[in-house]
């Protein structure tokens, strides 16, 4: 789940709302962290599969 910085920025500007900025910024950090975790798990799975063969 990738979050595009530019689209996030446009969303914030269109709303012009501090609460929306905080929520979006928080969501970006959560989804960014989640994506990094998924990539890490995926790479670990690939490495494990290679070792098993």
pLDDT value of position 39: 66
Helices then strands (H, E): number in the chain? Answer: 2, 0
CA distance linking residue 50 with residue 16, whole number of Å: 50
**Could you give the CA distance from residue 39 to residue 26 in angstroms, rounded to a whole number?**
20
DSSP, res 1: -
Block means of pLDDT (10 residues each) for the chain, 53 residues, are 69 68 70 68 62 51
pLDDT in the model for residue 23: 72
Round to whole Å and give the CA distance between 4 and 14: 16
The pTM (predicted TM-score) of the whole model is: 0.26
Contact 11, 24 (CB under 8 A): yes
What ranges do the domains of the chain cover?
Answer: 5-52
The reported pLDDT for the residue numbered 46 is: 63
């Amino acid at each position: 789940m990738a979050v595009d910085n530019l689209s996030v920025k446009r969303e914030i500007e269109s709303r012009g709302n501090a609460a929306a900025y905080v929520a979006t910024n928080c969501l970006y950090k959560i989804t960014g962290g989640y994506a990094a975790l998924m990539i890490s798990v995926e790479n670990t799975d690939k490495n494990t599969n290679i070792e098993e063969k």
